[in-house]
Amino acid sequence: MPQKIEGLKVPFVPVGGVEGLSSPRPLPKDHPSPFDTILKEKLDASRGLKFSAHARTRLQSRNIELTPDLMDKLATAVEKAETKGARDSLVLVNDVAFIVSVNNRTVITAIAEEQLQENVFTNIDSAIIFK
């Protein structure tokens, strides 16, 4: 006599029978799954840098222009800092200094060349000079 599990006889068969079931088909190798696509988009987005409200204010008030070249150098410097285990870094790119939270990939503040004279930077654990 078959065993019962909450009213179902074991083994049970789907209503349409086993012939009605389709076998799973793998996706072609050249077609990424929707999950892969979404994951890649999220990872790419997280690699981008964010700017805190304070940093945005400083960029505007100090007339610092974020060119694509400057952004590329800044992102590369942050990636290098991340590989070394840095947490809070001073990043010097061309004539602009940025304080960056490496873990959060967030620019905390920006300092133009004119404000760099005799300045003391605290609460950083690394400095990256990227010319």
**Annotated domain spans of the chain:** 49-130
Nearest to 100 by CA among 114, 92, 90, 115: 90
> What confidence tens digit (pLDDT) does each residue in 24-33 have?
776 666 666 6
> What confidence tens digit (pLDDT) does each residue in 58-73 have?
999 998 988 888 888 9
49-130 folds as YaeB-like fold (3.30.2310)
Which parts of 32-125 are beta strand (E)? 50-51, 88-93, 96-101, 106-111
Average of pLDDT values for 30-52? 69
Amino acid at 83: T
